Chain A
Amino acid sequence: MTLKIGIDVGGTNTDAVVVDADGKVLAATKSATTPDPFDGIRESLSKVIADVDREQITQAMLGTTHPANAIIQRRDLERVGVLRLAAPASLGVRPGASWPKDLLATIMGPAEIIRGGNEFDGSEISPLDEDAVRRFAEKCAGDVAAVAVSAPFSPATYDHEQRAAEILVEELGADFSVSMSHRVGALGLLERENATILNASLLGVARNVVNGFHAALVENGLSVDAFLTQNDGTLMTADEAVRFPVLTLGSGPTNSMRGACSLAGLSDALVIDVGGTSADVGILVDGFPRESTAAIEVGGVRTNFRMPDLISIGLGGGSVVRVGENGVAVGPDSVGYRVVNEALVRGGSTLTLSDISVRSGRLTDFGDPTLAEGIAEDTVRAAMTWVDDQIRIMADRLKASRHALPLIAVGGGSHLVPDDVPGVTEVVRPNNHAVANAYGAAIAEASGTIDRVFRYEGPGREACLEEARNLAIEAATRSGADPTKVRITSVQEVPLSYVPGQACRVQVKAAGPLAS
């Protein structure tokens, strides 16, 4: 039987699991995250494979916050040249508009808008100005580590981006890095360009992470296929990840949700992850998190990534409970992980939701219940009512239909989740929920997406959707999915106003398990 390793590098902990082909957890570990990715990954790996047959391990999946932290902390980012192929269109908004000043200063090298790009119907805005690309390459030589190239409607027509990249490589050398926007983002030129610039800037961080991952695998005697998890909870090969690190930025919450769902043996469910300070609720549809429609900011930069649609509130095991004239108030402040010392039941002096949970009988085996006996009945009732209301409202806000769904509760504070939530069929508390993130990485699948404008007039809606589905399936197969097991996981159609020919924006995603 073949085995897979899943590793999740979070802000505090690095978790690892070994999973068999049936999804059973054979080993699980937690270690502290280290500044150098190599150290933490190596240590977790050696711990988690200590008692399993390493000959059986064929694949290793990594989810990491390193690229996200690099942007948030403005650390290890490389300087990038920015080339937009769009003139005379788009001159009204220059690259880097509305970026935080410190990030601009760190990243932005030469930036130009030159002639090129396409219209919505595929015709050229203007022919690509190849001479301008060469002049731009001259400016970049020796100044930047990579170039980000973008163009209007490149998700549909990308010849200009590709040709510009070829010229840049001719001029700057075969090992020079160019990030093309059509490989990075969806419709929305400015947001896609932003994502492409961030991507180019993260290439150094990505090389470091992936090299560290490979080295850790080799050092532990593992000769396996290596993958990283993406924002949408699916995989890309480590070699792809070196070129598209920006696509891994939001993988943490996604892995946690998918891991929770799979541990519970469900594919359509709500997931609540309650920690010490806050609770996140998301929804899985056919095994994938529903994605947010709002613009996502990364380090203060507006992008159009598809990220899980999550609602977070200040509700956790460490949330501070106050009794005042106007009744009982909970949070949003929290003692966080210090709840183990500061909660009343642990001999501390702060009334927390964990104390309330002990008094109401939801939390057992945590401190000395007699230390919480002094809390008034009214206070317990008021605080638990607040908790139950918040969880009910969050679950209700995310539900995709009136149809009731199960709720999967994970995380150290999940004892606060009541067994009965209105509109929820049952509350499921899976085993191994503490390593849901790493488990989510281990069971991740390969996927492919397309996001394009189709004109239904002529070929007809069904023929267009069929083409879109086929393109998504091809893309998933290219990323390593087993062609016999690929399935369509989502189809979205948004009709476009004022565009003739019954134009419709179609987004389709396909996913499937890795071909073994």
Chain B
Amino acid sequence: MRKLASDALDQLTLGATLLGTGGGGDPFIAKLMVQQAIEDFGPIDIVDLDELDDSAQLVTVAVVGAPTVIIEKVPSGREFTDAVRALASYMGRKIDAIMPVEVGGMNTLIPLAVAAELGVPCVDADGMRRAFPQIEMTTFTLGGLTSSPMSLADEKGNRVAFETTTNLMGEKLVRGSAMMLGLANALASYPMTVAQAKTAAISGSMQYCSDVGGLLRDVQRQEENAWDRFLEFTEGRIIFEGKIIDVDRRTTTGFARGTVTIEDFADPTRTMRIEIQNELLLAIEDGRPVVTPPDLICMLDFETADPITTETIAYGQRVRILGLPCADEWKRGAWLDVVGPAAFGYDVDYVPLKG
């Protein structure tokens, strides 16, 4: 068990922004919530799965809704504790610890604030170690764990709990209910025991996020060998460096889609195309897929190494594109059906970044 204090948050937030792969909501608001929670309830306990009893009850907590709504209707805090309590009461079980569902974007930090307020530890594990747009896209699903029963709550005290036959159906019900509940809601889902989590969760993802954030901070401070250390730790690659020459955004139901085209600095005949569905999902160079989901595509400002979110991508930006391999825990069962290129409607094969 270790304590998380306010001064460790900047590194974690930077890591979360990077692992958000351009989406996942603005972690800045979530960081402010965690700071306030630490101020009000004290430092937060972070535990590894090994430190808890196998029978201990876990639940994941996340904010769901629209990032643009969340920057206006900032969370109350109460919707999260309400969602967890609603689920506990529905299940008739006490919740022993909170776990993030995705370590990437603002949902990396939200569970910390919830754990502080509920007075329980937060588990250093999750089901993605990146951000994905839908809640069934988890290693939990691949491990045969169900996302239900789950509960959704708003800040006013409205709560709904439901059970579904598939995790994809759970996603649909959550999305539909969130629209009626103001699009800035708390979701408690994937109730599981520690024993179950050990079979399906990605352990140590918070630590990974914090380490990656620290290594990226070193890059930003232009410390010696910072890039080498970053790439060695993540086993990632710099896949392209150039200037954005086209941004094409499309409004479709539910998702912010788009295509970004980048031209190589030195050789204008080399271009990379990146497909967006909330996150940066697919990188193609000269018609050949280079990074495919679930591997991560991260876009950094070429000069400052700040991660760029998909909403702020603009013509003329000078960028560096990284490809980071996904967590090994993804590679099991029908993983490509759940988070491979086909799951996002892309007619290409998965191209492993690693090995």
Q: Which residues of A contact B (CB under 8 A)?
A: 86-94, 97-98, 117, 119-120, 125-126, 152-153, 187-190, 293-295, 302, 396-402, 453, 456, 493-500, 502-505
Contacts and interface: CB of A to CB of B under 8 A. Distances in A.
Contact of A187 (B36, B71, B183, B256): B71
B221 interface: no
Interface stretch (B61-69, B118-126, B203-211, B281-289): B61-69
B36 A94 contact: yes
Contact of B253 (A90, A401, A453, A500): A500
A500 B181 CA distance: 13
Interface stretch (B42-50, B52-60, B72-80, B91-99): B72-80
Contacts of B314: 293
A398 B256 CA distance: 26
Among all A-B residue pairs, the 7 with the closest Cβ atoms: A92-B77, A495-B251, A497-B256, A90-B74, A498-B66, A92-B33, A293-B312
Contact of A120 (B72, B317, B318): B72
Interface in B244-299: 245, 249-257, 278
29 contacts: A88-B76, A89-B75, A89-B184, A90-B75, A92-B32, A92-B36, A93-B29, A93-B33, A93-B74, A93-B75, A120-B69, A152-B73, A153-B72, A190-B29, A302-B28, A397-B317, A399-B316, A495-B250, A495-B251, A495-B256, A495-B257, A496-B69, A496-B256, A497-B133, A498-B175, A498-B178, A499-B69, A500-B254, A502-B252
Given A120-B68, A120-B183, A398-B316, 13 more contacts: A87-B76, A90-B74, A90-B76, A92-B32, A119-B182, A187-B68, A189-B72, A189-B74, A396-B243, A494-B249, A495-B250, A495-B251, A503-B251
A256 to B, nearest CB: 21
Contact of B249 (A119, A126, A495): A495
A493 B278 contact: no
B74 A397 contact: no
B66 A91 contact: no
Interface residues of B, number: 52
Contacts of B251: 456, 495, 502-504
Given A93-B33, A398-B316, A496-B68, A153 B73 contact: yes
Nearest to B254: A498
Nearest to A502: B251
Contacts of B157: 88
B2 interface: no
B85 to A, nearest CB: 15
A405 to B, nearest CB: 11
B1 to A, nearest CB: 25
B349 interface: no
A92 B75 contact: yes
Nearest to A457: B253
B235 interface: no
A295 B28 CA distance: 11
Contacts of A295: 28
A498 B73 contact: no
A400 B35 CA distance: 38
B311 interface: yes
B155 A88 contact: yes
A90 B73 contact: yes
B282 to A, nearest CB: 17
Contact of B311 (A91, A494, A500): A494
B67 to A, nearest CB: 7
Contacts of B254: 497-498, 500
A497 B175 CA distance: 12
A185 to B, nearest CB: 11
B182 A120 contact: yes
Contact of B156 (A88, A94, A120, A402): A88
